[in-house]
Structure 1
Amino acid sequence: MTKAYVLVVDDEPDIRELVREILEDEGYEVTTAESAGAARRVLQERPPQLVLLDIWMPGEDGISLLKEWAQAGACPFPVVMISGHGTVETAVEATRHGAIDFVEKPLSMGKLLATVEQALKAPAAEPAAAPVSVIEPVGRSAVMRGLREQAERLAATDSWVLITGEPGSGRKCLGRYIHGLSGRRAGPLVEVAAGTLAGESAAVELFGQERDGQIVPGRLEAAAGGTLILDGAADLDAGAQTRLASAIEAGRFQRVGGAAQIPLDVRMIAVTRYDLAAEARAGRFRQDLAYALSVIPLAVPPLREHAEDIPELVAFHVDRLVETEQLGYRRFTVAAQNRLRNHHWQGNVQELHNLVQRLLVLGDGVDIEVGEVEEAIAQRPPDRLGGDWPQALDLPLREAREHFERAYLQKQLQRAEGSVAQLARLAGMERTHLYRKLRALGIDPRDAGETGGGRP
């Protein structure tokens, strides 16, 4: 008895015939197509119950064909993608447009049959409401290869992850990468900045609220079935820490003002520049919450520890800026790239991105020579706070504001000779709020005599 009617779309004749033979031996009815156009002709004659679709084909690729099928809403049949060299971004895009699984080349008979059987049981996936920006960490150095391998192993589990590293090193990018590889990739990815949460508003933001019969879901509820990235985890308000620790221990939570028990169904990826265990020992963070968030620690290296990746990173950022912001293409000469490799990148990959963007926007000519790079690195117009304001002007408003606040408080802290009480008077801030702000900005009062002003 025939099990189901399957369409196999692949430009490689050997692959098409191999899949046909495997499926027909198991009782499936199979039709093949060598291109997007051939697949359309088959669909006009008879819609299949399942499509196995190659991503990379001459002419029109499989993702474009999948988008076409999904234009009217949910894809009318389950689609399993076939790929020998796909990326995480490709996988996420295919899932967003309705693909429900992937089969990798070279094909495994057992994996293929199990995937087909499972796909026929499942309803066709609906496109996600919003795309998730997932970028594979760039670099061929041993340290970056090791980081990707660790991330890929972690993605295969549902364990909670603590990502540490210096600001600008790509911590959130790594968190998105793990989500994009994980079994939760079809679920939502929600990001929340812990430093912005304080008092009762923190509870509402995280857990939601019920008032006058109206329900406002919080971030934990919005991330159900997916991943929540808690950015700046060490800066979480003490009250929010207590509520979150209780929710984790119970495995459920209540909305503010509500009585319903809501299951805690998220994968938490905490991101911070600090050592949470050290913060807990110093009494600045709940120990039980630090343990809960630190199930699997993952450290992102600073750019200076993999400077050999800078040419590849430069090429990546140039291509991305040209594509996403329609900037004119420019090429860094070898001498210019070598100068970048020997620069001390205090702001890490984010600082490199900002410099590349500035050179594409402000420079002339196709080639970027070493002299132009020197000028961009040395650019320091006079200002009373001594901050790198050209770089700050390249940042989003919130980050630019943090840049100013950090420079301002560092300057006032020097005037106060490291005294937080005196700093509170100079800045006109309540001391408890000031301590929270200093920690959120990475300023240690003990470093008052230094210009760096932050902890690693």
Structure 2
Amino acid sequence: MSAPHILVVDDEPDIRNLVREILEDEEYQVAVAEDGASARQALRERRPDLVLLDIWMPDIDGISLLKEWAEDDGLVCPVIMMSGHGTVETAVEATRLGAYDFLEKPLSLAKLLLTVERGLEADQLKRENVGLRRHAPPVQEPTGKSPVMQRLREQVKRIAQHDTWVLITGESGSGRETLARYLHSQSVRKDRPFVDLGVTSIARGNAAYELFGSEEGGSVHYGWLEQAAGGTLFLDEVADMDLEVQTQLLGALDTGTFMRVGGSDPVKIDVRIIAATQRNLEEEVKQGRFREDLFYHLNVVPLHVPPLREHPEDVPDLLNFYVDWFVAHDKLPYRRFNVGAQNFLRNHSWHGNVRELKNLVQRLLILGAGDEITQDEVETAMGAAEIHSSEGMEAVMAFELPLRQAREKFEKAYLEYHLRESGGNISRMAKQVGMERTHLYRKLRGLEIELKERR
């Protein structure tokens, strides 16, 4: 795993080299550039975690360069401006363009290191806030005292100490992403990004741009592989990846480098891959829908998340966990499941696994009243949900269709429903379905759902 990568842009060799030596002593990785042209090239070669940018340079001033970066794709990382001849107006303009801070020369080394540290911390906090807005689950230890869950946790802790790639299998709703986040939190990469990429959320024909990034007209768009640099990239539902993109990903894994779309220079990979699927990848390989060599690359260490019906003794712990979760995070009233309700739920088939249990707890806390949740209340809530679910599925699904077409039909009905519920408000809808707005727009376009008509 790499340390944070910092780019120092300054036309004075003495200052440039001094700052580099100081930062390298603090165990940062450092690249240097002497002017705007070399700074642009450095950004093409590798996405930095922070930039120290001088204002006065021979070919272009730092403010103009900052403006250029901000206009392209937004600032990709914190930028700290440096100047020996700065004015209040310059500092204000830099701040308006998104600069994190402004340092005056001669540099105070203590202030330099403190500002760099705070800039990196602020960027990490920003990433975490984005994750919360996308309803990303908290980093939690997989819940349950059953032997099967104890073995799974021990297995994850051992695997986390080795920088191998991992393939997580399990049914829908079983907690594959929770396990991936927990594995990342136990690894040496825990202080670096965890980037989750739902392969099914990428519009067709756009996967290469999303994964590898692009270069066009001198500007660089960093893909998910670079955004996860030094950390972990979680590829959910990897079986849905197009064969062409599978081939490109395999080439990147084989060589340790990849090319951005439209780019001319190879970019090095420093990332751990955790892939997940609910499908049988070996069967997908036999059917020619998944590359065999990529399967063996991803399947270095397999982890299987058992369905909830195989460890029903964990149901009471899961009920308590999600009650506490919704009380703390959604401010719902506290209610407890009585013994009869718990015993009833232990014998439920849980076709939707942990996700079904979580949704049931939320429904009962929102709609119910009183301190205690009884078996009768649970049966009523589950019966109503099953009737609604079966009617809805019959309405939108044609079971004679091939799986891919059936999935698209369901996705379209699902998104149209949430679009109606949100009144056409994409920000609200994105929160409801747990997707980034950019991905949601692409998905809606890919399914030919017209926003203007719905609004």
Matches within 5 A, 1:209-220: 209-220=214-225
Cα deviation for residue 197 of structure 1 reads 3.0
Counterpart among 287, 291, 297 of residue 296 in structure 2: 291
Identity of aligned residues (%): 48
Structure 1 CA distance, aligned partners of 2:168 and 2:151?
15
Partner residue of 1:386?
A: 390
User: Is residue 228 of structure 2 the alignment partner of residue 257 of structure 1?
Assistant: no
User: Is residue 247 of structure 2 the alignment partner of residue 242 of structure 1?
Assistant: yes
Counterpart among 148, 154, 163 of residue 158 in structure 1: 163
C-alpha contact 2:168 2:304 (8 A) present in aligned 1:
yes
Name the CA shift for 1:333/1:435 in 2 (closer, same or farther; >3 Å). Answer: closer
Cα deviation for residue 381 of structure 1 reads 7.7
Unaligned runs of 5+ in 2: 1-115, 132-137, 413-455
Aligned residues: 286
C-alpha contact 1:235 1:439 (8 A) present in aligned 2:
no
Structure 2 CA distance, aligned partners of 1:440 and 1:249?
34
Counterpart among 184, 190, 194 of residue 199 in structure 2: 194
Partner residue of 1:7?
A: none
Task: Render the CA deviation track for 1:390-445: whole Å, top value 9, x for unaligned.
Answer: xxxxxxxxxxxxxx6xx5564x23xxxx465xx9xxxxxxxxx638848999xxxx
Name the CA shift for 1:357/1:199 in 2 (closer, same or farther; >3 Å). Answer: closer
User: Is residue 379 of structure 2 the alignment partner of residue 374 of structure 1?
Assistant: yes
Matches within 5 A, 1:38-49: none
C-alpha contact 1:168 1:348 (8 A) present in aligned 2:
yes
Cα deviation for residue 332 of structure 1 reads 0.7
* Greater RCO (Cα-Cα under 8 Å, separation 6 or more): 2
Structure 1 CA distance, aligned partners of 2:169 and 2:321?
23
2:311 aligned counterpart, secondary structure: helix
Counterpart among 376, 400, 405 of residue 434 in structure 1: 405
Name the CA shift for 1:187/1:386 in 2 (closer, same or farther; >3 Å). Answer: same
Name the CA shift for 1:191/1:236 in 2 (closer, same or farther; >3 Å). Answer: same
Name the CA shift for 1:330/1:199 in 2 (closer, same or farther; >3 Å). Answer: closer
Name the CA shift for 1:226/1:382 in 2 (closer, same or farther; >3 Å). Answer: closer
Unaligned runs of 5+ in 1: 1-122, 390-403, 424-432, 442-456
Cα deviation for residue 346 of structure 1 reads 0.3
Q: Per residue, is there more helix in 1 or in 2?
A: 2
Structure 2 CA distance, aligned partners of 1:299 and 1:236?
20
Counterpart among 338, 346, 365 of residue 341 in structure 1: 346
Partner residue of 1:171?
A: 176
Partner residue of 1:310?
A: 315
Counterpart among 181, 189, 203 of residue 184 in structure 1: 189
Matches within 5 A, 1:44-193: 126-127=120-121, 128-129=124-125, 130-131=127-128, 133-193=138-198
171-180 vs 124-133, which deviates more? 124-133
Counterpart among 356, 363, 367 of residue 362 in structure 1: 367
Structure 2 CA distance, aligned partners of 1:256 and 1:217?
10
1:298 aligned counterpart, secondary structure: strand
Task: Render the CA deviation track for 1:64-103: whole Å, top value 9, x for unaligned.
Answer: xxxxxxxxxxxxxxxxxxxxxxxxxxxxxxxxxxxxxxxx
Structure 1 CA distance, aligned partners of 2:262 and 2:401?
41
Task: Render the CA deviation track for 1:278-324: whole Å, top value 9, x for unaligned.
Answer: 21112110111111111100000000111001111100000010000
Q: CA RMSD in A?
A: 2.5
Structure 1 CA distance, aligned partners of 2:409 and 2:284?
14
Instruction: Give the counterpart letter for 2:262 in structure 1.
Output: G
Structure 1 CA distance, aligned partners of 2:176 and 2:337?
26
